[in-house]
Amino acid sequence: MTQFLQALFNGVALASIYALIALGFVIIYKSTQVLNFAQPALLLLGAYWVVYFATVLEWSFWLALLAAALLAAATGVVVERVALRPMVGKPVFSVAIMTIGLNTVLTIVALDLMGVEIRPVGDPWGIQVVKVGSVVLAHRQIAAVVATIVVVAVLITFFKRSRMGLAMRATAFDQEVALTQGVSVSTVFALSWALGAALAMLGGVFIGSGIGLDRSASVMALKALPVVVVGGLDSIAGAIVGALVIGIAESLSGTYQPQYAEFLGRQFSQVVPYLVMFVVLLVRPYGLFGTKEVERV
């Protein structure tokens, strides 16, 4: 039972990171109908700024996090204005290819900045742990879960209570109708990319928390794609449920597969998110919470 509870908690902590990244996917998709394949690069670049401010300039972690969030948001806006805005009205396939190209360019920039070494993010949690019974809870895992809960609560309040949040929901529902109601769709697009990039940055910080950040972070960020496919590309609730499904499935397989199915290989848990995605696509192509009107890429 202890092994199961430990794997379950690890899965929830992993899911919280996936949820942060996936929420960025969903917010951008709902507002702009763009499937942003550049999200892993935005994660890597955003997390690097935390590394730079916290460990090179030796700012406090919280100040570094705030500065990196602003810089990541600005990067998202620049990407939208420079690369995506000229693609408005172009085929969905072309826009998706554009984001793949952006991912390549931004990843190269981020990796050049980071170098080949593992870089500490300067977080205050380190590798400290606390025990609840026989289950070990790492401080960084607890922080990731709490941060995700706070972010989700803030986003829900923003979308339900604020004028801009309501404008974003109206734009997600129908861009032409939103325009006739006086909504600045271009502002909504820019804000969506800013939020998506900032959420990716936060996810990157928790990927590197305690163990350091390296080039593999962008690979981990790609698992947010199965999350949004499982949950539904246009559903915030789906992103959270999808993250829990993928995170827990990956953690349980990483715990039990080496014991009961060793022949599958040592890193089988890394492909589990994609296997879950394939199964969900076969039985529910629009995801668990997605709408059938979603246009597929």
* pLDDT tens digits for range 221-268: 788 888 888 888 878 888 899 999 999 999 999 888 888 888 888 888
- CA atoms of 188 and 42, how far apart (whole Å): 19
Tokens of 185: 């769709």
- CA atoms of 297 and 294, how far apart (whole Å): 10
Confidence at 46, pLDDT banded by 50, 70, 90: very high
pLDDT for residue 232:
82
Please say if the pLDDT value at position 96 is more than 60: yes
Is the pTM here over 0.85, yes or no?
yes
- CA atoms of 269 and 253, how far apart (whole Å): 5
Mean pLDDT on 206-221: 82
Concatenate the DSSP letters of all residues of 54-94 into one string. Answer: IIIS---HHHHHHHHHHHHHHHHHHHIIIIIGGGTTS-HHH
Question: What residues have CB less than 8 Å from 257, skipping those under 6 apart?
Answer: 264, 268, 269
- CA atoms of 15 and 224, how far apart (whole Å): 9
Confidence at 297, pLDDT banded by 50, 70, 90: very low
Place of tokens 């972010």: 151
Place of tokens 């990171």: 17
Mean pLDDT on 101-112: 89
Mean pLDDT on 286-294: 72
Question: What residues have CB less than 8 Å from 186, skipping those under 6 apart?
Answer: 85
Exposure string of 206-223, with b = 16+ CB inside 10 Å and e = fewer, is: bbbbbeebbeebbebbbb
From 294, 287, 252, select the one nearest 269 (Cα to Cα). Answer: 252
Confidence at 18, pLDDT banded by 50, 70, 90: very high
Please say if the pLDDT value at position 285 is more than 70: yes
Concatenate the DSSP letters of all residues of 131-165 into one string. Answer: EETTEEEEHHHHHHHHHHHHHHHHHHHHHHHSHHH
Please say if the pLDDT value at position 59 is more than 50: yes
Please say if the pLDDT value at position 292 is more than 90: no
- CA atoms of 274 and 51, how far apart (whole Å): 30
pLDDT for residue 293:
60
